[in-house]
């Protein structure tokens, strides 16, 4: 009241000044609101009420965007004109439409306005939770947090309890799906690890078996490192070798234990089958494989010198009947001393 009277005193002082200059009294506009200290003018009230009425009319037509803008205009003209009840009701109406791509953002803003108008008004957080469960953008974790807020402020609401059950069911389903996905991933990783271990064990077992296959003759010690079947042909675009049967290769490591260099005794190596048939090294395919593979660590046996104490890997190639190449009784012999070779699995592509 004191500020109101002070305002009118200032107004009459202005009128007195006007009379002194022109000699006639002048009307004075009623004071307008300033920081809440002044009474609002009729024009302000009418503008706010007009926007409010327009917003209500837009709600009846289902024009959500227009309703929101008119309500926002009413609050901007005179804050508090709309109130939490109207903002919340608008949010509820929009949320019931369930249009996550168009209407939901407007409903979210309406609920935010309702919270600003009255943070304790019932049902606002419930409405937010409903929006957060709209498909396809459902966010059950956020929805549960909103329901917790609602339950804390207004306990005992059956609608909150009902929606909470739905949200919890969704969370449980997502957890089950994630658990199943994790179990599948772990099973796959475990199976892959098992296969890898089995493969490594198989490889080590094969190496161990081959390493027990060794002979020594003429002062040369040779150990079988591997054996594989290449098929009836290998090579590249410009050069290839074709077998009358199938190509088989034995990889050996040899060490000259004498005191002087020796030529590799290629003629004393052979594959022997159960019938006693001997199959000599196929010199041409041994040479072709060495050239084509360009593996300098594995030597072609022809004209190869073994120097004292220097191990050399040598690839011996044979053109064998397929049944001999794959037989478990087949032997690689050096100076009539045999080493067992075992073909394990499919034919190996020489390119790999």
260-290 pLDDT, tens per residue?
A: 999 999 999 999 998 999 999 988 887 777 6
Same domain, 287 and 153: no
Do 161 and 107 share a domain, yes or no? Answer: yes
With a pLDDT cut of 70, the percent of the chain lying above it is 75
- What average pLDDT does the segment 151-171 reach? 91
In a domain, 277, yes or no: yes
User: Which DSSP letter does residue 38 get?
Assistant: S
Q: 155 with 39, same domain?
A: yes
**How confident is the model at residue 18, as a pLDDT?**
36
Specify whether 30 is located in the same domain as 134: yes
Q: What is the pTM of this model?
A: 0.43
- Please tell me whether residues 151 and 250 are part of one structural domain: no
Average of per-residue pLDDT values in the chain = 78
* Enclosing domain of residue 138: 2-170
- The number of domains in the chain is 2
Look at residue 73 and tell me if it is in a domain: yes
Burial-class residue 318 by CB neighbours within 10 Å (0-12, 13-18, 19+).
buried
User: Does 120 lie in the same domain as 22?
Assistant: yes
pLDDT in tens, 34-93: 444 445 688 888 998 999 999 999 999 988 889 999 999 999 999 888 999 999 999 888
Same domain, 160 and 216: no
Residue 110 and residue 17 share a domain: yes
pLDDT band at 145 (very low <50, low <70, confident <90, very high): very high
Indicate the pLDDT class of residue 295, thresholds 50, 70 and 90: low
Tell whether the model's pLDDT for residue 25 goes beyond 60: no
Looking at the fold, whether 95 and 237 belong to one and the same domain comes out as no
Cα angle 61, 80, 153 (rounded to 5 degrees) comes to: 90
Separation CA 328–CA 318 (nearest Å): 16
Distance CA 91, CA 109 (A): 8
Is residue 144 domain-resident?
Answer: yes
Same domain? For 336 and 254 the reply is yes
Helices and strands in the chain: count of H runs, count of E runs: 10, 11
User: pLDDT tens for residues 105-117?
Assistant: 888 889 999 989 9
Instruction: Judge if 150 and 26 occupy the same domain.
Output: yes
DSSP state, residue 308 = B
The CATH code of the domain that includes 32 is: 1.25.40.10
Residue 182 covered by a domain:
no
All residues at 6 or more sequence positions from 332 whose CB lies less than 8 Å from its CB, including other chains: 213, 224, 227, 250, 252, 269, 270, 271, 272, 316, 338, 339, 340, 341
Q: Give the residue from 146, 170, 194 where a domain finishes.
A: 170
Q: Which helix (H) or strand (E) holds 332?
A: strand 331-334
What is the model's pLDDT at position 37? Answer: 42
Which domain CATH number covers 228?
2.60.40.1240
Task: Compute the distance between CA of residue 199 and CA of residue 196 in angstroms, rounded to an integer.
Answer: 5
């Amino acid at each position: 009241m004191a500020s109101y009277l002070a305002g009118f005193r200032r107004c009459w002082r202005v009128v007195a000044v006007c009379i002194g200059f022109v000699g006639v009294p002048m009307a004075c506009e009623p004071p307008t609101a300033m920081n809440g200290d002044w009474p609002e003018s009729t024009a302000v009230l009418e503008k706010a009420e007009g926007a409010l009425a327009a917003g209500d009319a837009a709600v009846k037509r289902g024009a959500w965007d227009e309703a929101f803008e008119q309500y926002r205009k009413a609050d901007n003209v005179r804050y508090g004109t709309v109130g939490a009840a109207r903002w919340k009701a608008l949010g509820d109406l929009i949320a019931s439409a369930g249009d996550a791509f168009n209407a939901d953002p407007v409903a979210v803003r309406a609920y935010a306005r309702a919270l600003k108008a009255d943070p304790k008004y019932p049902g606002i957080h419930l409405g937010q939770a409903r929006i957060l469960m709209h498909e396809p953008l459902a966010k059950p974790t956020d929805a549960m947090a909103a329901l917790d807020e609602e339950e804390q402020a207004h306990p005992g609401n059956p609608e909150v309890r009902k929606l909470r059950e739905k949200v919890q069911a969704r969370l449980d389903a997502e957890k089950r799906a994630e658990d199943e996905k994790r179990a599948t991933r772990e099973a796959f990783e475990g199976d892959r690890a098992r296969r890898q271990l089995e493969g490594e064990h198989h490889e080590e077992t094969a190496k161990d078996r081959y390493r027990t296959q060794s002979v020594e003759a003429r002062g040369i010690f040779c150990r079988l490192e591997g054996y594989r079947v290449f098929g009836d042909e290998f090579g590249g675009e410009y050069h290839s070798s074709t077998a009358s049967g199938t190509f088989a290769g034995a990889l050996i490591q040899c060490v000259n234990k004498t005191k002087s260099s020796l030529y590799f005794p290629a003629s004393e190596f052979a594959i022997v089958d159960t019938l006693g048939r001997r199959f000599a090294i196929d010199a041409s395919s041994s040479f072709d494989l060495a050239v084509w593979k360009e593996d300098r660590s594995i030597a072609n046996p022809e004209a190869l010198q073994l120097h004292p104490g220097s191990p050399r890997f040598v690839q011996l190639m044979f053109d064998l009947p397929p049944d001999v190449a794959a037989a478990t009784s087949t032997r690689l012999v050096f100076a009539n001393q045999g080493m067992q070779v075992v073909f394990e699995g499919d034919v190996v592509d020489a390119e790999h």
